[in-house]
């Protein structure tokens, strides 16, 4: 009986130590452990180069998560930004996120939007930033379960595909209460703040459009448009 009880305890410990979360892409689809996501020129520091993600809690109890930059090839992390719970720039290899504590994910839920990885430095040399995501205790000091690994790659040889949607114009990049746009095509317009968080989104089918933005705080934003052929264009604006 004692042997059976000990075996049961060991099984329960092993089960609790296994992965209890799923790493999801921006579309909510599971990402393969060890995946490499690549971005090229024209995608540095703007929403086209943001790798947005979610972490889903697959259990019936709350879990706690952290991330770590485990390596940086041809880079030191100073050009990189990670948002996981909080946002961090000028990061270093071995640094963990959040710096203190952990990211709380309630049972059966996932992290909110806004978490992302992004390179902010253009370079002639490819750069790789490898991260691991792992479960921990609430204090963030004791690791539990298995790692999830993902590499963000900047490849300068990749073409600038983001400018394929050329027949789109904004009347001005310094804006006040409205953004005025013009295009003969139908498209979806999204506005992102400098942290990569979507703050407005609208489907536009008219040749000219006047989008209210007076409710947005002053600062820098990115307007990204995607047409029905999935061609896109990103324009930086300044909100007065």
Instruction: Show me where the domains of the chain are located.
Output: 21-154, 164-239
Q: What is the pTM of this model?
A: 0.65
Least trusted range by pLDDT, from 1-10, 67-76, 152-161: 1-10
Instruction: Name the DSSP class of 161.
Output: G
170, two tokens: 């904004």
* 166 pLDDT tier (thresholds 50, 70, 90): low
Task: Give the rounded distance of the alpha carbon of 191 from its chain centre.
Answer: 15
CATH code matching the domain that covers 164-239, chosen among 2.60.40.1930, 3.40.50.1220, 3.40.50.300, 3.40.50.10540: 2.60.40.1930
Q: Say whether 164-239 and 21-154 share the same fold.
A: yes
Task: Report d(CA 222, CA 192) in Å as an integer.
Answer: 5
Q: What is the pLDDT of residues 175-222, one digit of tens each?
A: 999 999 999 989 889 888 866 678 899 999 999 999 999 999 998 888
The CATH architecture assigned to 21-154 reads: Sandwich (2.60)
Concatenated DSSP letters of the chain: -HHHHHHHHHHHHHHHHS--EEEEETTS-B--TTEEEEE-TT-SSSGGG-EEEEEEE-SSS-EEEEEEEEEEET--STTEEEEESEEEES--TT-EESSSS-EEE-TT-BPPTT-EEEE----SS-EEEEEEEEEE-TTS-SEEEEEEEEEEEE-TTS--GGG---S-EES-SEESSEEEEE-SS-EEEEEEETTS-EEEEEEE-SSEEEEE-TTSPSEEEEEEEEETTS-EEEEEEEE-
Q: How many other C-beta atoms can be found within 10 angstroms of the C-beta atom of residue 169?
A: 11
Place of tokens 């689809």: 29
Q: Is 223 exposed, middle or buried (0-12, 13-18, 19+ CB in 10 A)?
A: buried
Place of tokens 């050009």: 79
pLDDT value for 234 = 77
> What length is written for the chain?
240
Q: What is the pLDDT of residues 33-72, one digit of tens each?
A: 999 988 876 677 666 788 889 999 999 999 999 999 999 9
175, two tokens: 């804006």
C-alpha distance across the termini of the chain, in Å: 74
Is 70 exceeded by the pLDDT of residue 32? yes
């Amino acid at each position: 009986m004692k042997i059976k009880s000990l075996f049961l305890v060991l099984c329960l410990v092993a089960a609790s130590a296994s992965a209890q979360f799923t790493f999801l892409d921006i579309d909510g689809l599971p990402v393969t452990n060890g995946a490499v996501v690549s971005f090229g020129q024209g995608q540095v520091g703007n929403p086209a180069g943001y790798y947005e993600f979610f972490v889903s809690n697959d259990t019936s109890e709350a879990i706690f998560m952290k991330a770590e930059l485990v390596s940086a090839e041809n880079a030191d992390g100073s050009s990189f930004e990670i948002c996981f719970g909080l946002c961090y720039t000028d990061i270093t290899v071995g640094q963990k996120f959040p710096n203190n504590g952990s990211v709380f994910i309630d049972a059966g839920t996932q992290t909110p939007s806004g978490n992302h990885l992004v390179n902010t430095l253009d370079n002639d040399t490819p750069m790789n930033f490898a991260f691991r995501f792992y479960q921990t205790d609430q204090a963030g000091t004791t690791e539990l379960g298995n790692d999830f690994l993902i590499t963000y790659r900047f490849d300068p040889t990749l073409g600038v595909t983001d400018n394929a949607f050329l027949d789109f114009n904004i009347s001005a990049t310094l804006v006040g209460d409205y953004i005025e746009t013009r295009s003969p095509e139908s498209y979806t317009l999204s506005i992102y703040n400098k942290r990569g968080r979507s703050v407005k989104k609208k489907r536009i089918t008219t040749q000219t459009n006047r989008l209210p933005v007076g409710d947005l705080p002053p600062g820098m934003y990115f307007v990204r448009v995607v047409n029905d052929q999935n061609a896109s264009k990103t324009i930086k604006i300044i909100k007065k």
